[in-house]
Structure 1
Amino acid sequence: MSQKYEAKRAVLLDDVKQVLKDAEALYKAAVDDGTQEGKALKEKLKAQLTKAQEQYAELEGSVLERTREAAAHTNDLVYEKPYHAMGVAALVGLVLGAFLSRCGR
């Protein structure tokens, strides 16, 4: 489950990063028509793009930090109560085995 989450998280972050790169390329390629309205729109786009990039960086850092905290917490729990962890793993294996054996019929 953790690997699936990590893969989906990585794909999502890559997609967001690509959207930001595309928006930045669009901004750079935008042609000024010389009007005040065009210049104001381009400046507004630049400000929003900068804000989005900052928010993306914060989000990426936050997700990474929470993932590390969750992994550390899980690791601590397993080391503090190894027999509980083995019991839960055995129970999950038993339920999963029973479920799969019924589905195979």
Structure 2
Amino acid sequence: MPEATTAQRDKLLDDLRLVISDAEELLRMTAHQVGDDTAELRSRIQSRLQEAGVELAGLQDAATAQVKAAGHAADEFVHEHPWKSIGIAAAIGLVVGLLVARR
């Protein structure tokens, strides 16, 4: 996974956790308000927050599994093709070196 994508995903997960936390705090702060509409709304929000938390955990688990699978695949490739890996790394190093030298 590219570094920018990983950083964006991590920021999104952090933002979602913050929104869920803020919504839960808001529910606690309005717990003293009574009324059928308020109780119903509070109940719906709580159930949706629980669902969002479960989905967020699932998303995080899936992302972690995907990163682990990619790492495992890269590790297998390097072990199966060590000279190709060295060649690829050398080529990437050469390109990066040329780009840095041009600046």
Q: TM-score, normalised by structure 1?
A: 0.83
Per-residue deviation, 1:12: 3.9
Q: Is the 8 A contact 1:78 1:85 kept in 2?
A: yes
| Residues 1:19 and 2:19 aligned together | yes
Per-residue deviation, 1:77: 0.4
Cα distance between partner residues in 2 of 1:31 and 1:66? 40
Cα distance between partner residues in 1 of 2:33 and 2:15? 31
Match of 2:67 in 1: 67
The SS at the match of 1:33 is coil
Counterpart AA for 2:69: E
Per-residue deviation, 1:30: 1.5
Cα distance between partner residues in 2 of 1:56 and 1:30? 25
| Residues 1:99 and 2:64 aligned together | no
Match of 1:33 in 2: 33
Cα distance between partner residues in 2 of 1:34 and 1:23? 18
Say if 1:64 and 1:5 are closer, same or farther in 2 by CA, change over 3 A. farther
Cα deviation code 1:21-59 (max 9, x no counterpart): 222111111145322111111111111111111001101
Equivalent pairs, count:
102
Counterpart AA for 2:35: T
The gaps in structure 1 that reach 5 residues or longer are: none
| Equivalences for residues 50-89 of structure 1 within 5 A | 50-89=50-89
What is the RMSD of the two structures over their aligned residues, measured on CA atoms? 2.2
Q: TM-score, normalised by structure 2?
A: 0.84
Higher relative contact order (CA 8 A, sep 6+): 2
More displaced 10-residue stretch of structure 1: 9-18 or 43-52: 9-18
Q: Is the 8 A contact 1:32 1:39 kept in 2?
A: no
Counterpart AA for 1:51: E
Cα distance between partner residues in 1 of 2:33 and 2:18? 27
